[in-house]
C-alpha cells in the first residue's frame, strides 16, 4: 500500500514534458526491438520449455498452471502493449528511470536524468519492463546485474517486472530449471 502511494505521487509529481522528436523516434525503436525479443522468447518457451501456447492464449495471465505459463501469458500481453505503443512523457525526475501506472492507461514517464544515460540494451530492457506492468507485474524487487530471477516474498518470479528486464540483458532462463 505504501509503495502504491509512492507510485501515485511519483506519477503526479515532476514537470512532465512532451518528448521531443528524436526521443519519440528512439523510444518507438526500443519498443519494436522489445517486441522482437519477446517473439524470440515465446518461440523458445514453446520449443525448449514445452509451454502450451494455445492453453496460455485462452486464459488470463494470472490464471495459468505454472509460473512459466504465466510468464508466457504476460509476454503475449506485453507484445500487444508494445506494438500499440506507449504515450511517453519525458520528465526531469531523479527518483526513477521510467515509471508507469500498473494495468491502466498508456502513459510512461521517462526520466531525462536516468534513462538517456543507459546503454542501448538497457533502454530496451527498461521499456520491456514497463510493458509488463500493464500486464500485471509488480516491482517486488529489482534484481541487480549479478542476480538471477527468483521468487520474492509473496511474489512469484513471473509476476516481478525485473525478471523480464534481466532476461533482456542476460538471456531467458527459468528459475528452478536453468536460472540458478
Ligand atoms: Zn517497474
At 173 the pLDDT is 96
Other beta carbons within 10 Å of 18 = 11
Determine contact, residues 166/143, Cβ cutoff 8 Å: yes
Say what the pLDDT of residue 8 is. Answer: 66
Ligand 1 centroid, distance to 45 Cα (angstroms): 23
- pTM reported for the whole predicted model: 0.91
Per-residue pLDDT of the chain (180 residues; tens, 9 = 90+): 456 666 766 666 656 688 999 999 999 999 999 999 999 999 999 999 999 999 888 877 666 679 999 999 999 999 999 999 999 999 988 888 999 999 989 999 999 889 999 999 999 999 999 999 999 999 998 887 778 999 999 999 999 999 999 999 999 999 999 987
Task: Evaluate whether residue 90 is within a structural domain.
Answer: yes
Answer whether residue 146 is part of any domain: yes
Count how many domains the chain has: 1
The alpha carbon of 169 and the centre of ligand 1 are apart by a number of angstroms equal to 16
Q: Is residue 121 part of a domain?
A: yes
Span from the CA of 163 to the centroid of ligand 1 (angstroms):
10
Residue 101 lies in a domain: yes
Q: Is residue 80 part of a domain?
A: yes
Residues 39 and 130 sit within 8 Å (Cβ to Cβ): no
Q: How far is the CA of 122 from the centre of ligand 1 (A)?
A: 14
Query: Is the residue at 11 inside a domain?
Result: no
CATH of the domain at 30: 3.40.390.10
- Domain around 57: 18-170
Question: Residue 146 C-alpha to ligand 1 middle, in angstroms?
Answer: 18
Position 7 in a domain: no
Tell how far the Cα of 82 is from the centroid of ligand 1, in angstroms.
15
In a domain, 66, yes or no: yes
133, 161 contact by CB (below 8 A): yes
Amino acid at each position: 500500500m505504501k509503495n502504491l502511494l509512492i507510485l501515485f505521487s511519483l506519477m503526479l509529481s515532476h514537470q512532465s514534458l512532451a518528448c521531443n522528436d528524436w526521443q519519440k523516434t528512439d523510444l518507438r525503436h526500443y519498443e519494436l526491438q522489445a517486441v522482437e525479443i519477446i517473439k524470440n522468447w515465446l518461440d523458445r518457451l514453446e520449443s525448449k520449455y514445452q509451454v502450451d501456447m494455445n492453453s496460455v492464449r485462452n486464459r488470463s495471465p494470472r490464471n495459468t498452471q505454472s509460473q512459466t505459463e504465466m510468464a508466457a501469458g504476460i509476454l503475449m500481453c506485453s507484445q500487444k502493449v508494445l506494438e500499440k505503443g506507449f504515450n511517453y512523457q519525458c520528465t526531469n525526475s531523479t527518483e526513477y528511470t521510467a515509471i508507469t501506472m500498473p494495468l491502466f492507461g498508456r502513459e510512461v514517464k521517462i526520466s531525462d536524468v536516468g534513462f538517456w544515460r543507459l546503454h542501448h540494451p538497457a533502454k530496451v530492457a527498461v521499456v520491456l519492463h514497463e510493458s509488463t506492468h500493464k500486464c500485471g507485474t509488480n516491482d517486488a524487487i529489482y534484481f541487480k546485474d549479478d542476480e538471477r530471477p527468483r521468487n520474492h516474498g509473496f511474489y512469484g518470479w513471473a509476476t516481478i517486472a525485473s525478471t523480464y528486464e534481466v532476461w533482456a540483458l542476460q538471456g531467458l532462463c527459468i528459475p528452478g530449471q536453468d536460472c540458478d
